[in-house]
A and B are shown apart, each in its own frame.
Chain A
Amino acid sequence: MNSLAFPFVPLNRTGSIPLTPVPSLPDSDRKPLTKKEVSADHPTWCPGCGDFSVLALYFKMIEKRKLWHEKITTVAGIGCSSRFPYFVQAHGAHYIHGRALPFASGISLSRPDLHVFVFGGDGDAFSIGGNHFNHTARKNIKLTYVVMDNQVYGLTKNQTSPTSPLGRKSKTDAWGSADRPINPMKQAISAGATFVGRTSATSPNHVLEMMEAAMDHDGFSFIECLSECVEFFPGAFDAAIPRKGGKFELIPPSHDVTDEYAAYRLSDNPWPGQFGIFYKVNRPTKNASEAKIIADHRAKVTGLADWQILQKNFDRMK
C-alpha cells in the first residue's frame, strides 16, 4: 500500500471569488465598528420582543470595546433567541438545539485568540442542553453565555419551559405548569460556573455592564437576561420593570461575590429577585489547564518536528 489515493492538497479558500491581496491594518488604525457595520440580517423577532435589546447592547459592547469582526465568534443553538448569529455581521454559527455550548467549547479550546459568545433561550440552555450547561460550567471553559430567559418556548409557540413559573398555562400545560422551575442562578453556581450574573433586557445600561464584566472574566461567564416574549408570555417580567410599576433591584454592594453560600441565598430572594453579579471567582480555566498539559508535554519534545515525535511511537512498536 503506502500510497494514498487522496493525498494532502492545499485548499482554494475562495472558490470563484478572485484572490486579491488584502492589506492588513494595524489595530491602532482601525476605527471601532459602527452598529451598521456590525449588523447583518434584519432581526425576525416579533416587534417588542425583549431580544432586540440584547442584540443592540451586544453591538454597543462591540463598538465600545473595539472588538473586530474577525475576533469574535457568535454561536447559538435553536430558538427565537438563538437566531442571534444571523443578525451579527461577524463569524457566527447557528448550531443544533441545546448543543451550542459544546460547539462553542470546541472553538474556545482550539482558538485562544477569539472571544466566543453564546446566546440562547431557556429551553435550549436548561432543558435539552441542561447537561452541557453543567459540564461547561464545571470545566470552566472560557466563553460568555447569555441566556435570554423568557420562561417559555417562543419558537415552537408557547409550550412550558424549564423556567416557566408554577401554574403558568401553556399549550402543553393547559391547566398550568406543575413542575418546579429551574432557578438559573442556583443551577449555575452549583454547577461550578465562575461568573454568574443576572440582568433584564429592559435595563440596557445594566445589560451592557454585565456583558462587559462577563467578557472580561477569564472563565465560563454566564448571564441570565430576562427577555420578555411579548407574543406568548407578555407581562412576565413586569415586577422587575419600574416603568410598569415593578422594581429593578440591584444586589447590594455589601454582597461578597466570592461567597458561594451568600450567592446561593441571594438566588432565593422572592420574585423578581435582584440583579447584578451573584458570584465571581477565579479558578483555572480548562483552556489554561490544557495549555499547561501541552506545555509540559512540549517541553519533552523540544526541537522535534511533528514527524519526529510520531517516529518515537513507531520506534516503540517494532
Chain B
Amino acid sequence: MSTTIVPGTPGAIPQISQIPEAVIRIAGNSQDGIQAIGGFLARLAGRSEQEVMTFMTIPSTISGGPSIFQVRIGSGEVLSAGDEADMLLAFYQHSYDNHLGSLRKGGVVLYDSDHVKELLPENLSKYRHVGVAISGLTVEAIGGSGRDKGKNVFALGLLARMFDLSVPKLHKLLEERFTGKDPSIVQNALNCFNAGYNYTLATAHELFRLKPGENVGHNQVVMSGNEAIALGLLAAGVRFGAGYPITPWSDIMEMLRRELPKYGGTFVQGEDEIASVSMAIGASYAGRVAVTGSSGPGIALKTEALGWASMAEMPLVIIDVQRGGPSTGMPTSVEQSDLNIACFGGHGDSPRVVLAPSTVEDCFYTAIEAVNLARKYSTPVILLTDQGIATRIEAFPEPDLKKVCQDISPDLSPIADHKPYDLSAADGITRHIAPGTRVASGKYPVVTGLEHDELGHPTGSPKLHIAMTSKRRSKLQKLGRELPVPKVYGPSEGQILLVGWGSAQGPIQEAVKTARAAGEAVSGLHIKYINPLPEGLEQIFEGFRHVFVVELNDEGLYGYGQLAAVLRARYCNPKIRGINKVDGLTWKIREILDRARALAQ
C-alpha cells in the first residue's frame, strides 16, 4: 500500500491516500456471514473494472467456527490473494489474536470493540488500531432487536468508508442479493450498511481510495472456480452428470443439478462414486459426453471404471477438486497431491488426458476443452483443480456465450458399416456410434473392458492386445504433439525457472515479478496439459541453471513432488528439483522465493 497523498475532502478526515491495491482480511466466525462481505467486495471490484482475487478458509465443523475471507483488489494485475494484509477486520478476540500476524507492519486493524478487549501494548505500536463497537451499533441500526445479525453488512459500510468504495454500486448489490425476500430485510441491510458508512472513523488517521481499474471496456463477471467449471460444462453442451457429495466438489454437482434441467439435461446423485462414474460412462456411451467428479477419496473409488473407459475408449470428463489427502486427510485444505492418481491411478496401462486450469477464467474454458478433448480423442479426461481455486473468487471478462456454447448431441443417422476400434483408421482414433444408430451391414459393435477386436468382441490374441494397447497410447502421443507449447513467463534464459501447475500459476508469476524487480534472473513456466505433456519443455529447461517445480504436495521418498517426478522421469534432467509444502495453504510469494534462493545456493 504505497501511498500518494491527495488533498483531503473538506469536513471529513483530512487525509485520503490513493493506493493501487489493497489486501483485506476479514476474520470472524463463518456464521457471521464474512463470506458474504468478501463476496460483495469481489463483485464490486468486478463491476469497477478492477482485478480481484480472494482466499477463504472453510471451518471443518458444520456449525461454523473461525474462518477467514481475504480479498485482494487491484487496479492492475492481481496474481495471488496476497502474502500480507493491509487491513484486518477482526470480529472477535480470537480473530484478533490469530490473524494480527498476517497484517503488514503499519497495517490497519479494524476491530469490534464489543468483542475484542485485550490489545497487547507492543501491537499498538506496530499496527494502527481502529476500534468500533460493531455489534452494538448494528443492533442500534436495526432498531434494537437485541441480535447483531447484520453486523457483516455494518462492517461492509465501514470498509466502504475506509476505502471510499462506490456506495451506489454497493447499495445495488445489496438490493440484488435480497430481492425476492421480505422488503424489510432489504431495508434492514441498507440501514446496517448506511450506519456503518456514516460512522465517523475519527480514530483512523487515514482513509484510502483505490485507483480506478484498468480493465475498462470489459464487462466482467465474478465467480468461484467451482462455478466456472459448472458453467463451462453447460456451455460445452454436457447434459448428463452423476456424482456423490464430497467437499469441495459438491458445489459443482449442486449447481449442475439446479441448472441442467433448464437445458433438458439431468444430474443424478448416485448411491456412491462408483455408481456415479458408471452412470456417466453409460450416458457417454448413449451418445453425449457426460461428467462425473469428486475429490480425492471418491476419485480413488472411480479408478476401476476409469480403467474401463480407457480400455473401451469412451469419452468422459472426470473433475477432481483436490484437497488434502490421503484418505479423509485435510478435507478443507488445499493440496495438489492427486496428480499421480489422475495420471496413473488405476490398473493396467490406462492412458487418459489430464488438464489443470490455473485461474477461475481458465476453469471455465478448460471445462469446455476437457469435453472437446474427450470427444476428439475418444478418451477419459480428468480435470484437476484444487480447493484453493475451487472456492476463490475472481473477476474475468465475460465470455461471448453465443460463440462459446456448443452442441454435442449425437448423430444417430443410419450408417453403412462400423468398426469402433478400426486399426486402419487414418487418424488412429476410435469412433463410437451411439445405441439407436442403425448399421446397415447388420454388424453391431460391443463396448467392453476385455481386450477386443475392431468390433469390440473379446480376443485373447497377443497380437491384438499389442496393437490395441499401442492404439490407445498412440492417440494420446498424437495429442501431445498437438498441444500448445507453454510460454515462459519472463525471459527465456536465466538462473531459475519456477515450474508450476494448477493454482500455483498466480503466485509463481508474482514471485517472478518480485524477483525480477530485485534484479534476480528468475522466470516462470506454467504447465496446464499434464498428461500427455506438451513438447518443447526440454528446450525451455535448457535456458536455465535451475528448474524448480513448485507444488503443494510432499517431496516424496526420493525428494521430488509429483509433477517433478514425472518431469525427471521424462527428461532425465538432474537440474529439475522440487519446492514442496503441505501446510494446507496456498503459496506465499515470500515462501517460494526464499525456498528457491536457498535451493539455488
Contacts and interface: CB of A to CB of B under 8 A. Distances in A.
A86 B411 CA distance: 24
B435 A102 contact: no
B368 A4 contact: yes
Interface in B185-241: 219-223, 227, 231, 234-235, 237, 239-240
A255 interface: no
B402 A70 contact: no
Contacts of B274: 99, 102
A68 B262 contact: no
Given A16-B424, A106-B280, A92 B259 contact: no
A130 to B, nearest CB: 11
B568 interface: no
A298 B265 CA distance: 10
B288 to A, nearest CB: 7
A296 B433 CA distance: 31
A2 interface: yes
Interface in A272-318: 290, 293-294, 296-298, 300-301, 305-311, 313-314, 317-318
Given A40-B457, A106-B281, A70 B231 contact: no
Among A37, A69, A95: residue with most chain B CB under 10 A: A95
Interface residues of A, number: 74
Nearest to A304: B262
A269 interface: no
A13 B411 contact: yes
A132 B263 contact: no
Given A70-B439, A317-B222, A4 B372 contact: yes
B532 to A, nearest CB: 13
Interface string B269-295: 011101110111111111110100000
A306 B263 contact: yes
Contact of A111 (B242, B361, B435): B435
A82 to B, nearest CB: 11
Contacts of A17: 416-419, 422
Contact of B442 (A4, A69, A96, A107): A69
Contacts of A294: 261, 264-266
A103 B415 contact: no
Interface residues of B, number: 102
Contacts of A70: 435-439, 444
Nearest to B278: A102
B362 interface: yes
A29 interface: no
A161 interface: no
A134 B272 CA distance: 12
Contact of B372 (A8, A41, A311): A8
Given A15-B425, A135-B275, A91 B445 contact: yes
B373 interface: yes
B266 A110 contact: yes
A114 interface: yes
B369 A6 contact: yes
Contact of B431 (A15, A109, A110): A15
Contacts of B540: none
Contact of B458 (A69, A73, A86): A86
Among B47, B227, B240, B266: residue with most chain A CB under 10 A: B266
Interface stretch (A18-26, A50-58, A172-180, A217-225): A18-26
A293 B261 contact: yes
A89 interface: yes
23 contacts: A15-B425, A15-B429, A17-B422, A68-B438, A69-B439, A85-B446, A93-B312, A94-B449, A99-B278, A102-B242, A102-B274, A106-B286, A110-B240, A290-B261, A294-B266, A297-B261, A305-B405, A306-B407, A314-B231, A314-B399, A318-B43, A318-B47, A318-B220
Given A14-B415, A109-B266, A314-B399, 16 more contacts: A4-B365, A5-B369, A6-B376, A14-B417, A14-B431, A15-B429, A16-B424, A17-B416, A70-B444, A89-B444, A92-B444, A102-B274, A106-B286, A110-B288, A294-B265, A317-B43
The 5 nearest A-B residue pairs measured at CB? A106-B282, A15-B425, A91-B435, A102-B278, A297-B261
Interface of A: 1-2, 4-9, 11-20, 22, 24, 37, 40-41, 68-71, 73, 75, 85-86, 89-96, 99, 102-107, 109-111, 113-114, 131-132, 134-135, 290, 293-294, 296-298, 300-301, 305-311, 313-314, 317-318
